[in-house]
Amino acid sequence: MAQLWGGRFTKETDELVYRFNASIGFDQRFYEQDLKGSMAHVKMLSRQGILTETEEEQILAGLEGILTDIKAGTLPIDESCEDIHSFVESTLIDRIGDPGKKLHTGRSRNDQVALDMKLYIRDEIREVDGLLKELLGVILTIMEEHTKTYMPGFTHLQKAQPVTLAHHLGAYFEMFKRDRQRMGDIYKRMNFCPLGAGALAGTTYPLDREYTAELLGFDGPTLNSMDSVSDRDYLIEMLAAFSTIMMHLSRFSEEMILWNSNEYQFIELDDAYSTGSSIMPQKKNPDIAELVRGKTGRVYGALMSMLTTMKGIPLAYNKDMQEDKELVFDAIDTVKGCISLFGGMLATTRFRIEVMEKSAAHGFTNATDAADYLVNHGVPFRDAHGIVGRLVLTCIEKGIALDDLSLAEYQQISPVFEEDIYEAIRIRTCVNKRNIIGAPGEEAMQEVLRINRRYMEEQEEITE
């Protein structure tokens, strides 16, 4: 059992205690960040005259070697070490001897782990942002193809007013765009370097924290050493933002599941994204969408766990904080997997244009427009509402649409109706008259598509 702190102890740690305490099983995930952080630390120590240039060179070469070998798979991570930090340091000492023992000068594992986690999370936030951008690309392409695909818009899951597929998907475009903004905000707020905070109270060595921060691409050093080692706000913010991403994906999944059902038949999921039933030969199940919806719970759970873990912790570092890793890693894997798979599923989905249009035409989605027609001919809206309500009732009794009533039938209920009522309540007329920005009308939609296309071209991915 390789551990860094045997000096003051007289007994061996109990094996079970040792295992319970150890984090190597999961923190090896950020070995690269740990090594890069150590390299920056060593460069700074040498610049400050705390290490000699020769020591710097020896340690850096040792760390580079460890990085290369772990990556190449020739240096297996020894799980009997307590954590990744201990593994790297003991391997370094094995390989280069005494100079390796100076690596940890002016540093504690508390500021080290705070740094490693931040470096790791920065990379992951950038990746999630990139995946969201790809998903936005898929959505936008479908939107551009479907500005004339009419479908019912729903409230209370009841057909309400006609929209287009472009407009419906445009709602999700806005959601995932905000999700990207949240990634950028979190990145900016967390991007300060905790190294140099030591165990909790800084250090007596003359460290140049600005320099370390700069080497590692941070906007500067953190300003309070106690906060630096015990701040996990950025993880909570990230899990909250991830929960929102999952909530969006889950709503979208729910719609895909509904739309793919026999009752709707608005879409057909690709075979590659569906599964069969072991007993019912006719089945083609939307498992991927269901799993995305289901996995949302895991990510919400991680957020709740993290908030609960942090709520009673006195300043500064406490071991409870080690619990952040497995939760966060699982949430990251889940979110990344769900965004990618959902994007693939969406990109291969077949939209059944005729079924959507037919559904919009049946279900009185043009009833508001029939009332608006009367209003435009001087009938007060409340009266118009009543008149159209009676027309709808007649249609329901006959099992027809408003479009199928004869002019005589219209005029029997209100003499204001003329032949042009039919044009006024055509689904495409209803949609295209809604032409203010944000509405589904063709011109308004084209303007939004232009704005969103420009966003895709101009909106940089998050960089250091």
Q: Tokens 């140099």 — which residue?
A: 196
83 interacts with ligand ARG by CB under 6 A = yes
Nearer to ligand ARG by Cβ, of 109 and 295: the residue is: 109
Nearer to ligand ARG by Cβ, of 113 and 288: the residue is: 113
End-to-end CA distance of the chain: 38
Q: Tokens 């950020």 — which residue?
A: 30
| Residues linked to residue 351 through DSSP beta bridges, in sequence order | 267
Window 112 to 151, contacts with ligand ARG (CB under 6 A): 113
CA 141 to chain centre: 20
310 interacts with ligand ARG by CB under 6 A = no
Backbone angles phi, psi at 221, to 5 degrees: -85, 155
Nearer to ligand ARG by Cβ, of 26 and 264: the residue is: 26
Q: CB nearest ligand ARG: which residue?
A: 322
285 interacts with ligand ARG by CB under 6 A = no
| E strand map for 90-177 | 150-155, 158-164
Q: Are 183 and 176 in contact (CB under 8 A)?
A: no
3-state DSSP call for residue 88? helix
Report the alpha-carbon distance of residue 286 to residue 283 in Å, rounded: 10
Nearer to ligand ARG by Cβ, of 23 and 452: the residue is: 23
23 interacts with ligand ARG by CB under 6 A = yes
Cα–Cα distances (Å) from 180 to 34, 168, 455, in that order, read 27, 20, 12
Catalytic residue among 156, 167, 243, 377: 156
Nearer to ligand ARG by Cβ, of 176 and 317: the residue is: 317
Report the alpha-carbon distance of residue 118 to residue 324 in Å, rounded: 12
Nearer to ligand ARG by Cβ, of 113 and 431: the residue is: 113
Report the alpha-carbon distance of residue 211 to residue 207 in Å, rounded: 9
Stretch that binds ligand ARG, among 168-176, 314-322, 385-393, 400-408 (CB under 6 A): 314-322
Length reported for the chain: 464
Nearer to ligand ARG by Cβ, of 34 and 56: the residue is: 34
Nearest approach in angstroms of CB 218 to ligand ARG is 20
Nearest approach in angstroms of CB 117 to ligand ARG is 8
Nearest approach in angstroms of CB 26 to ligand ARG is 9
Nearer to ligand ARG by Cβ, of 109 and 182: the residue is: 109
Q: Given phi > 0 = left and psi -120 to 50 = alpha, else beta, which region is 95?
A: alpha
Nearest approach in angstroms of CB 223 to ligand ARG is 21
Q: Are 145 and 345 in contact (CB under 8 A)?
A: no
Window 317 to 336, contacts with ligand ARG (CB under 6 A): 317, 321-322
# chain residues binding ligand ARG, by CB under 6 A: 9
Report the alpha-carbon distance of residue 127 to residue 448 in Å, rounded: 26
Window 98 to 117, contacts with ligand ARG (CB under 6 A): 109-110, 113
Pairing, β 150-155 against β 158-164: antiparallel
Nearest approach in angstroms of CB 104 to ligand ARG is 12
Question: With helix as H, strand as E and coil as C, how does 325-377 read?
Answer: HHHHHHHHHHHHHHHHHHHHHHHCCEECHHHHHHHHHCCCCCHHHHHHHHHHC
Nearer to ligand ARG by Cβ, of 25 and 380: the residue is: 25
> Considering just the CA atoms, what is the radius of gyration of the chain in Å?
31
> Catalytic residue at 414?
no
Pairing, β 267-268 against β 350-351: antiparallel
Q: For the residues of 218-275, what is the DSSP string, one character each?
A: -SSB-S-HHHHHH--HHHHHHHHHHHHHHHHHHHHHHHHHHHHSTTT-SEE--GGG-B
Catalytic residue among 80, 261, 277, 340: 277
228 interacts with ligand ARG by CB under 6 A = no
> Catalytic residue at 359?
no
Nearest approach in angstroms of CB 11 to ligand ARG is 18
Q: Are 147 and 164 in contact (CB under 8 A)?
A: yes
Q: Where in the sequence numbering do the catalytic residues fall?
A: 156, 277
Q: What are the residues binding ligand ARG (CB under 6 A)? A: 23, 27, 83, 109-110, 113, 317, 321-322
